[in-house]
Amino acid sequence: IAIRLLMGGHRVVGVARDFSHFPTGHPGFIHESIDFSDLTQTVEKLKRLVTKHQDLDGLVCCAGQGQLASLEEFSHAQIQDLMNVNFISQTFVVKSVLPYLKRKGRGDIIVVGSEAALKGSRKGSIYCASKFALRGFTQALRDECGSAGVRVSLINPGMVRTGFFDDL
Protein backbone atom coordinates (compact mmCIF):
# COMPACT_ATOMS: atom_id res chain seq x y z
CA ILE A 1 0.00 0.00 0.00
CA ALA A 2 2.80 2.39 0.94
CA ILE A 3 4.67 1.72 -2.31
CA ARG A 4 1.54 2.34 -4.38
CA LEU A 5 0.88 5.60 -2.56
CA LEU A 6 4.48 6.71 -3.05
CA MET A 7 4.27 5.84 -6.76
CA GLY A 8 1.17 8.06 -6.91
CA GLY A 9 3.16 11.00 -5.58
CA HIS A 10 1.87 10.91 -2.01
CA ARG A 11 3.95 11.44 1.10
CA VAL A 12 3.65 8.43 3.40
CA VAL A 13 4.27 8.15 7.12
CA GLY A 14 4.75 4.43 7.69
CA VAL A 15 4.36 2.94 11.13
CA ALA A 16 5.59 -0.58 11.78
CA ARG A 17 7.48 -2.68 14.25
CA ASP A 18 10.13 -3.61 11.68
CA PHE A 19 11.17 -1.89 8.46
CA SER A 20 13.89 -4.36 7.47
CA HIS A 21 11.85 -5.65 4.50
CA PHE A 22 10.75 -2.24 3.26
CA PRO A 23 12.83 0.17 1.14
CA THR A 24 12.78 3.19 3.45
CA GLY A 25 15.05 5.30 1.26
CA HIS A 26 12.27 6.94 -0.79
CA PRO A 27 12.28 10.72 -0.23
CA GLY A 28 8.50 10.76 0.32
CA PHE A 29 8.58 8.04 2.96
CA ILE A 30 8.92 8.77 6.66
CA HIS A 31 9.10 5.76 8.93
CA GLU A 32 8.33 5.52 12.61
CA SER A 33 8.81 2.32 14.61
CA ILE A 34 5.99 1.36 16.94
CA ASP A 35 5.36 -2.10 18.33
CA PHE A 36 1.57 -2.38 18.57
CA SER A 37 1.79 -5.32 20.97
CA ASP A 38 3.06 -2.90 23.66
CA LEU A 39 0.12 -0.56 24.19
CA THR A 40 1.74 1.58 26.87
CA GLN A 41 4.48 2.80 24.54
CA THR A 42 2.05 2.87 21.58
CA VAL A 43 -0.06 5.68 23.06
CA GLU A 44 2.92 7.94 23.78
CA LYS A 45 4.56 7.30 20.42
CA LEU A 46 1.28 7.97 18.59
CA LYS A 47 0.87 11.30 20.39
CA ARG A 48 4.33 12.39 19.26
CA LEU A 49 3.78 11.08 15.73
CA VAL A 50 0.47 12.83 15.19
CA THR A 51 1.75 16.08 16.68
CA LYS A 52 4.64 15.96 14.22
CA HIS A 53 2.43 15.09 11.21
CA GLN A 54 -0.79 17.03 11.71
CA ASP A 55 -1.20 17.50 7.96
CA LEU A 56 -2.30 13.89 7.39
CA ASP A 57 -5.14 13.44 4.90
CA GLY A 58 -5.75 9.78 5.48
CA LEU A 59 -4.99 6.70 7.43
CA VAL A 60 -4.58 3.09 6.38
CA CYS A 61 -4.73 0.62 9.27
CA CYS A 62 -3.32 -2.70 8.19
CA ALA A 63 -1.47 -4.08 11.18
CA GLY A 64 -2.22 -7.70 11.84
CA GLN A 65 -0.94 -10.80 13.49
CA GLY A 66 -2.09 -14.28 12.58
CA GLN A 67 -2.37 -17.04 15.08
CA LEU A 68 -4.71 -19.94 14.53
CA ALA A 69 -5.29 -22.51 17.25
CA SER A 70 -8.13 -23.82 19.37
CA LEU A 71 -8.96 -21.64 22.35
CA GLU A 72 -7.40 -23.95 24.93
CA GLU A 73 -4.08 -23.84 23.04
CA PHE A 74 -3.78 -20.07 23.63
CA SER A 75 -2.15 -18.71 26.75
CA HIS A 76 -3.76 -15.68 28.35
CA ALA A 77 -0.82 -13.57 27.17
CA GLN A 78 -1.24 -14.78 23.57
CA ILE A 79 -4.92 -13.84 23.63
CA GLN A 80 -4.05 -10.38 24.93
CA ASP A 81 -1.26 -9.88 22.37
CA LEU A 82 -3.47 -10.90 19.44
CA MET A 83 -6.29 -8.59 20.53
CA ASN A 84 -3.80 -5.76 21.15
CA VAL A 85 -2.27 -5.94 17.67
CA ASN A 86 -5.33 -6.83 15.61
CA PHE A 87 -7.93 -4.66 17.32
CA ILE A 88 -7.00 -2.41 20.22
CA SER A 89 -3.93 -0.83 18.64
CA GLN A 90 -5.97 -0.03 15.53
CA THR A 91 -8.49 1.87 17.64
CA PHE A 92 -5.64 3.75 19.31
CA VAL A 93 -4.22 4.77 15.93
CA VAL A 94 -7.61 5.96 14.67
CA LYS A 95 -8.29 7.80 17.94
CA SER A 96 -4.98 9.63 17.55
CA VAL A 97 -5.58 10.76 13.97
CA LEU A 98 -9.35 11.30 13.92
CA PRO A 99 -9.47 14.71 15.66
CA TYR A 100 -7.12 16.17 13.02
CA LEU A 101 -9.18 14.77 10.15
CA LYS A 102 -12.42 16.04 11.69
CA ARG A 103 -10.96 19.53 12.18
CA LYS A 104 -9.98 19.55 8.50
CA GLY A 105 -13.49 18.44 7.61
CA ARG A 106 -12.18 15.75 5.32
CA GLY A 107 -10.08 12.63 5.22
CA ASP A 108 -10.10 8.92 4.68
CA ILE A 109 -9.69 6.06 7.11
CA ILE A 110 -9.17 2.69 5.48
CA VAL A 111 -9.09 -0.36 7.71
CA VAL A 112 -7.77 -3.65 6.38
CA GLY A 113 -9.51 -6.44 8.23
CA SER A 114 -9.95 -10.01 7.08
CA GLU A 115 -12.57 -12.33 5.70
CA ALA A 116 -12.25 -13.87 9.17
CA ALA A 117 -14.46 -10.94 10.27
CA LEU A 118 -17.33 -12.39 8.25
CA LYS A 119 -17.48 -15.97 9.47
CA GLY A 120 -15.95 -17.79 12.39
CA SER A 121 -13.86 -20.85 11.67
CA ARG A 122 -12.35 -23.80 13.48
CA LYS A 123 -9.08 -22.85 15.24
CA GLY A 124 -9.96 -19.21 14.61
CA SER A 125 -11.80 -18.27 17.80
CA ILE A 126 -9.38 -15.56 18.92
CA TYR A 127 -8.22 -14.42 15.48
CA CYS A 128 -11.80 -14.21 14.20
CA ALA A 129 -12.89 -12.41 17.38
CA SER A 130 -10.20 -9.77 16.84
CA LYS A 131 -11.32 -9.25 13.24
CA PHE A 132 -15.04 -9.23 14.14
CA ALA A 133 -14.23 -6.51 16.70
CA LEU A 134 -12.37 -4.50 14.06
CA ARG A 135 -15.31 -4.84 11.68
CA GLY A 136 -17.83 -3.66 14.29
CA PHE A 137 -15.57 -0.78 15.26
CA THR A 138 -15.21 0.32 11.64
CA GLN A 139 -18.93 0.11 10.92
CA ALA A 140 -19.77 2.19 14.00
CA LEU A 141 -16.97 4.66 13.23
CA ARG A 142 -18.39 5.16 9.74
CA ASP A 143 -21.66 6.35 11.33
CA GLU A 144 -19.80 8.57 13.81
CA CYS A 145 -17.75 10.27 11.09
CA GLY A 146 -20.33 10.58 8.34
CA SER A 147 -21.27 14.21 9.05
CA ALA A 148 -17.65 15.24 9.68
CA GLY A 149 -16.44 14.69 6.09
CA VAL A 150 -14.29 11.73 7.12
CA ARG A 151 -14.86 8.63 5.02
CA VAL A 152 -14.35 5.25 6.68
CA SER A 153 -13.87 2.08 4.66
CA LEU A 154 -13.23 -1.53 5.57
CA ILE A 155 -11.51 -4.08 3.33
CA ASN A 156 -11.80 -7.74 4.29
CA PRO A 157 -9.40 -9.68 2.05
CA GLY A 158 -9.08 -13.43 1.93
CA MET A 159 -5.70 -15.07 1.52
CA VAL A 160 -3.20 -12.72 -0.06
CA ARG A 161 0.27 -13.28 -1.44
CA THR A 162 2.33 -12.17 1.56
CA GLY A 163 4.34 -13.84 4.28
CA PHE A 164 1.36 -13.55 6.63
CA PHE A 165 0.52 -17.26 6.47
CA ASP A 166 4.12 -18.55 6.54
CA ASP A 167 4.13 -19.30 10.25
CA LEU A 168 0.52 -20.47 10.62
Residue 40 and residue 60 in contact, taking contact as beta carbons nearer than 8 Å:
no
Question: In degrees to the nearest 10, what's the CA dihedral of 49, 52, 54, 57?
Answer: -60
Identify any residues that bridge with 81 across adjacent strands, giving them in sequence order: none
> Which residues carry out catalysis?
127, 131
Looking only at the bridges linking them, the beta strands covering 58-61 and 29-33 are unpaired
DSSP assignment, residue 142?
Answer: H
Identify any residues that bridge with 13 across adjacent strands, giving them in sequence order: 30
